[in-house]
Amino acid sequence: MFPTIDELESKLSNLEQKLSDAALIANQREYKKVAQEHAQVTKLAALSRKHQRVTTELADSEKMLQDEGDPELLELIKSEIEELSEQSSKIENDIKLLLLPSDPNDEKNILLEIRAGTGGDEAALFVGDLFKMYSRYADEVGWNVEIMSSSPIGIGGFKEIIALISGEEVYSKLKYESGVHRVQRVPETEAQGRIHTSAVTVAVLPEAEEVEVDIDPNDLRIDVFRSSGPGGQSVNKTESAIRITHLPTGIVVSCQDEKSQHKNKAKGLKVLRARLLDKMEQDQHDRISENRKSQVGTGDRSERIRTYNYPQSRVTDHRINLTLYKLESIMLGKIDEIINPLIVHYQAEALKKIR
Torsion-angle region of residue 104: left (phi > 0), alpha (psi -120 to 50) or beta?
alpha
Q: Is residue 181 located within the same domain as residue 321? A: yes
Last residue of a domain, one of 99, 130, 156: 99
Contact assessment for residue 257 and residue 240, using Cβ atoms and an 8 Å cutoff: no
Q: Is residue 127 located within the same domain as residue 75? A: no
The pLDDT value given to residue 127: 95
The pLDDT value given to residue 201: 94
Structural domain boundaries, residue 81: 5-99
CATH number of 293's domain: 3.30.70.1660
Q: What is the mean pLDDT of residues 87-95?
A: 85
Q: Is residue 203 located within the same domain as residue 334? A: yes
The pLDDT value given to residue 300: 45
pTM: 0.67
Q: Is residue 87 located within the same domain as residue 152? A: no
Q: Is residue 178 located within the same domain as residue 311? A: yes
Q: Is residue 114 located within the same domain as residue 215? A: yes
Last residue of a domain, one of 67, 99, 131: 99
The pLDDT value given to residue 29: 74
Neighbour-count burial for 66-99, b at 16+ CB within 10 Å, e otherwise: eeeeeeeeeeebeebbeebeebbeebbeebbeee
CB atoms within 10 A of CB 103: 14
CB atoms within 10 A of CB 200: 27
258 pLDDT band (50/70/90 cuts)?
confident
Question: Residue 254 is which amino acid?
Answer: S
CB atoms within 10 A of CB 191: 6
CB atoms within 10 A of CB 218: 7
The Cα 224–Cα 99 span in angstroms is: 49
Q: Is residue 139 located within the same domain as residue 226? A: yes
Question: pLDDT at residue 282 above 70?
Answer: yes
Q: Is residue 11 located within the same domain as residue 120? A: no
Q: What is the mean pLDDT of residues 225-244?
A: 63
Q: Is residue 177 located within the same domain as residue 296? A: yes
